[in-house]
Amino acid sequence: MVATEGQKVVCDYCGTFVEALELDATCDHVEGAFQRHFTRARMEMNSYEWAAHKDPESSFEFEPNGEQTVYAIMNAVDVSETIAEDIQQVFEDRYSDFDAAQIGETTEYDNELYYEELRPDGREWQETWQSFERSLKTEGRFFSAPALAVLNSVFSGIDAMKTRHGGSLIVEGGPDAI
């Protein structure tokens, strides 16, 4: 993003002459990525946690999962705490709501909120693969349109993919291959 959209300027944070973006433009990119890869953490106790918290013999203290907004931004974007605080402030201003503030509700990117990184969910792939296996075992083993569709979705474009070192993912095998 900086390489394609940045301009050579004196950075407000480090004071060096570098390729950089304005804070608002940086926030636009960070916000999009943050919305795709993070979710607000649960901030209330469930009934079990509430009971443990109220138990005089328990030392349970509720702590939301994830990280507070500034630290989630800081770690996700790999920037200093100062930059993350400025990004969080821009987000908080963008999502501020006068009515919500009057009744004490938090809005998106409030400094008191916690955010968790979204983890990939493989359930759909697992169900598809199980259906694929079942189809091969119990239906048309050699001429199965659903099986072909699964294989195409898994291997589509693999010939164009590269390893992190730039090599092909496809390796030829056999007695003449080296």
Report phi then psi at 142, rounded to 5.
Answer: -100, -25
Burial (CB count within 10 angstroms: exposed 0-12, middle 13-18, buried 19+), residue 98 = exposed
- Sequence-distant (6+) residues with CB within 8 A of 125 are none
Nearest to residue 90, comparing CAs of 46, 167, 166, 25?
A: 25
pLDDT at residue number 88: 93
Q: Measured in Å, how far apart are the chain's first and last C-alpha atoms?
A: 40
pLDDT at residue number 12: 83
Q: What is the DSSP string of 5-61?
A: H-EEEE-TTT-SEEEE--HHHHHHHHHHHHHHHEEEPP-S--HHHHHHHH-TT----
Q: Are 5 and 26 in contact (CB under 8 A)?
A: no
pLDDT at residue number 141: 67
pLDDT at residue number 102: 78
Q: What is the mean pLDDT of the chain?
A: 85
Q: What distances in angstroms separate CA 62 from CA 49, 66, 117, one per listed residue?
A: 7, 13, 19
Nearest to residue 41, comparing CAs of 110, 118, 116?
A: 116
pLDDT at residue number 35: 87
Element (H, E) at 91: helix 81-95
pLDDT at residue number 151: 86
Give residue for tokens 């200093």: 80
pLDDT at residue number 153: 86
Regions of the chain short of the pLDDT cut 70: 1-4, 6, 141, 178
In the chain, where the domains are located: 22-117, 123-160
Nearest to residue 71, comparing CAs of 94, 41, 28, 107?
A: 41
Tens of pLDDT, residue by residue over 109-138, are 888 899 999 887 788 888 888 888 888 888
Q: Give me the residues paired with residue 162 across strands.
A: 168
Q: Structure pTM?
A: 0.60
